[in-house]
């Protein structure tokens, strides 16, 4: 008896969870300095492409066909669930790992001090407080990961499309 293909939502849930944990945990690179952070940013793209492609390939292998829309829908679910998990992990890292909030605050202060349009000190303080808030960073992480996943999904869906083979009569 042949096993039924998994749903697109379940594929997105499993691989989105993997994506979210890996992206959220990459927030710990703030403690290692700017050089490691730039590598982690690149690794984030690689992780996102890998998890979305893996979800699409595994679904396609079990379902024996995958339309462009179906592949994009899987990428959307991976990005959506990944964004939710990454936001939670980011909040937890920011709230409970010592030194992360201070490292982010130091980077924001450095960026504001070296900015050519430093402007009003009250506005700069408001921006600094917002950028170091765990809730704000969690929201920015989620929004960014959803957009990143949608862009990747549009591209990978082109290559993951597979038409069903007609049954022999």
- pLDDT of 33-61, one tens digit each? 777 877 888 888 999 999 999 999 988 88
- pLDDT above 70: residue 30: yes
Looking at residue 149, its pLDDT comes to 95
Residue 64 makes CB contacts below 8 A (sequence gap 6+) with 5, 162, 164, 165
Output Rg (C-alpha) for the chain, integer angstroms. 20
- pLDDT above 60: residue 103: yes
At residue 13 the predicted structure's pLDDT band, cuts being 50, 70 and 90, is very high
% of the chain surpassing 70 pLDDT: 90
Looking at residue 72, its pLDDT comes to 94
Query: Rounded CA gap, 89 and 93, in Å?
Result: 6
Mean pLDDT, the chain, whole residue set: 84
Higher pLDDT, 132 or 47: 47
Domain boundaries, the chain: 8-97+136-160
CA distances from 62 to 4, 6, 42, 86, 104 (A): 8, 7, 31, 28, 44
- pLDDT above 60: residue 1: no
What integer is the mean pLDDT of 47-76? 90
Q: Dig out the tokens for 107 from the structure.
A: 């980077």
What integer is the mean pLDDT of 59-72? 86
| Contact (Cβ atoms closer than 8 angstroms) between residue 14 and residue 62 | no
Higher pLDDT, 47 or 105: 47
DSSP-assigned letters across all residues of 27-46: GGGGGT-HHHHHHHHHHHHH
- pLDDT above 80: residue 125: no
What integer is the mean pLDDT of 101-114? 78
Higher pLDDT, 146 or 62: 146
């Amino acid at each position: 008896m042949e096993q039924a293909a998994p749903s697109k939502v379940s594929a997105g849930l499993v691989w989105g969870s993997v994506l979210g944990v890996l992206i959220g945990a990459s927030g710990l690179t703030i403690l290692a300095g700017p050089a490691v952070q730039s590598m982690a940013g690149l690794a984030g793209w690689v992780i996102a492409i890998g998890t979305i492609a893996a979800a699409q390939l595994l679904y396609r292998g079990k379902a024996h066909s995958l339309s462009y829309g179906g592949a994009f829908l899987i990428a959307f679910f991976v990005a959506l669930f990944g964004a939710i998990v990454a936001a939670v992990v980011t909040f937890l890292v920011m709230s409970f790992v010592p030194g992360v909030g201070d490292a982010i605050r130091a980077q924001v202060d450095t960026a504001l001090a070296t900015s050519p349009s430093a402007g009003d000190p009250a506005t700069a303080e408001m921006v600094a407080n917002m950028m170091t808030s765990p809730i704000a960073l969690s929201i920015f992480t989620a929004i960014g990961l959803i957009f990143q996943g949608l862009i990747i999904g549009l591209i990978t869906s082109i290559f993951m499309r597979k038409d069903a083979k007609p049954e022999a009569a």
